[in-house]
Amino acid sequence: MLGLLLLLITATSSTATPKAEPATVLAAAFNEQVSRLTDRSFKVKEAAAQAIAETGDARAIPLLKALLAGDLYYRKDDDRIVYVAPAGSRGWTLTDALSGEALGEVGRRDVRKITVNNRMRSALRTSIAALTLASPDPALRLRAAREMIGSDDPLVINAVRTQLAVEDDKPVADALALVVAIADLKQPEAESRLAAIEVLHGNLYPQARNALNALLESEQNSRVLAATKAALDAIDRKRQLNSSIETLFFGLSLGSVLVLAAIGLAITFGVMGVINMAHGELIMIGAYTTYLVQQAMPGLTDWSLLVAVPAAFLVSGAFGVAIERTVIRFLYGRPLETLLATFGISLILQQLVRTTISAQNVVVQNPSWMSGSLQLNPGLALTYNRLYILIFGLIVFALLLLVLKRTALGLQVRAVSQNRAMARAMGVRSARVDALTFGLGAGIAGIAGVALSQLTNVGPNMGQAYIIDSFMVVVFGGVGNLWGTLIAGMTLGVANKLMEPWAGAVLAKIMVLVFIILFIQKRPRGLFPQRGRAAAD
């Protein structure tokens, strides 16, 4: 088609302008085909788009992409093809699609969109992908090859075969081989189909599995049928393995959230013996701090989260110290009164947020580096937000462990938790340690709120969803034991995700709760009981 088009253009131009250069001829052909896009007939526009792709003009790819995206218009007064961009609420900023000249602003009624149908969209994707195959950038060629997977257009397949013969980048070559193999499943020769099945054996692209299933329904040759079934079995085994890895990842991700939510509670509960029902609201304060920091840094979403982490620690920590100094210090040794008092504090904090910020949920935007997913293979992708939160949870755990093991405050906290009376006799100011410990636990709860703000909407009641889970993790792991909290949180997260596919989310939580109740009956002090004063009590 391209040769015929060039022949016609050359013949025409040789009659009218004998001295025209080939580049000028091709540019004129490109401009002529672009002008045909204003036709009302989809067939005419489809043919014009195909001819535009075949010219090989450098302007073809952006123009076809704009046509596919619905950003290609023409001016009503002179049919000039233009790109549009919003200009206020009632106008467009125009750019000439052929020359790139800025044409100023017009009203929205002064231009008309060049519409496409589903058939044209499919053809446009194929044309854009075929043009991109010639790119020197391997990433662009790989994206183009993936867009061609499943295409049965002979021209496209021939272009892919030609590129495959010279392709030196392995991922691109594998994708091109997949395109060819799926097309070869329709070859009349059994040997060609068998060779294609061998290429698709164990391939995780959905198009490969769909093509093999289609072949399984129509194939008559016994050898091809056997090879198809073997290839599908290999694909299903890999899919099951990837599904298990994904479930494990989601379980560890949930476990990291539980650890972040519970680790502050493990400190305060273990050292002070305080049943803090306001712990969930301290998480909520950390999440709202993230929201307020983001509002205070418009246009800097990628950096606001880094500022929010220390800010949430300080704000929630300050609330924790204030709660300990004004309420908790008068209730030591009276667990029931402490529970009731902190429950009342939780209600006060919820109402404070409703009054000062909003009673409605607010949304915290994810930074760009936490958006999207890490594609390990065609059947397995790990979302960046959960991956970063998993890493973040482990970092917080390591830093907290370092503080408790390598600092004077950590030594005093461990001394008070193991034997308060002896620690006081040795000169440790237990009241100060209690306040700092409560503030440290509250600050870590605030950091947990930063992480949770990236997974869910932030609202006044968000902390209530995690307070029970936090207590379960602390009790299961062993009160006051950080390693126990880490192992318990990860174990419960993985167990929950393993049961969800067949039990459902609600029943899975109930089953985990029943398991913990039965476990506590057997081991009241949890997986890793604390030694010292806690063990004696």
Q: Express each pLDDT in 17-44 by its tens digit.
A: 344 445 676 677 788 888 888 888 888 8
Side-by-side strand order, sheet with 102-107: 102-107, 91-96, 81-86, 72-75, 111-113
Q: Which residue has the higher pLDDT, 534 or 342?
A: 342
Q: How far apart are CA 277 and CA 289, in angstroms?
A: 20
The SS3 assignment for 381 reads strand
Query: Which of the listed ranges 29-38, 207-216, 324-333, 509-518 does the model predict with the highest average pLDDT?
Result: 207-216
pLDDT confidence bin for 313, thresholds 50/70/90? very high
pLDDT at 10 over 50: no
Contact, 281 vs 470, CB < 8 A? no
pTM exceeds 0.85, yes or no:
no
Neighbours of 432 (CB within 10 A): 11
Q: How far apart are CA 142 and CA 175, in angstroms?
A: 7
The number of C-alpha atoms within 13 Å of 365 and in the hemisphere containing its C-beta is 14
Q: How far apart are CA 209 and CA 189, in angstroms?
A: 21
pLDDT confidence bin for 536, thresholds 50/70/90? very low
**Mean pLDDT, all residues of the chain:** 82
pLDDT of residue 270: 66
Q: How far apart are CA 467 and CA 290, in angstroms?
A: 20
Contact, 282 vs 453, CB < 8 A? no
Q: What is the CA radius of gyration of the chain?
A: 32
| Angle of the 222-272 helix axis to the 482-503 helix axis, nearest 10 | 140
pLDDT of residue 58: 75
DSSP 90: S
Q: How far apart are CA 267 and CA 414, in angstroms?
A: 10
Chain segment 46-63, per-residue pLDDT in tens? 888 888 887 767 788 888
pLDDT of residue 531: 59
Chain segment 404-423, per-residue pLDDT in tens? 888 888 788 777 766 777 77
Chain segment 122-134, per-residue pLDDT in tens? 788 777 777 777 7
350 contact partners, CB below 8 Å, separation of at least 6: 281, 284, 460, 461
pLDDT at 91 over 50: yes
Least confident of 253-262, 449-458, 503-512: 503-512
219-223-225 Cα angle (round to 5): 40
pLDDT of residue 292: 92
pLDDT confidence bin for 375, thresholds 50/70/90? confident
pLDDT of residue 6: 32
Neighbours of 360 (CB within 10 A): 9
286 contact partners, CB below 8 Å, separation of at least 6: 312, 313, 315, 316, 445, 446, 447, 448, 449, 450, 453
pLDDT of residue 22: 59
- Mean pLDDT of the 480-504 span: 84
pLDDT of residue 131: 76
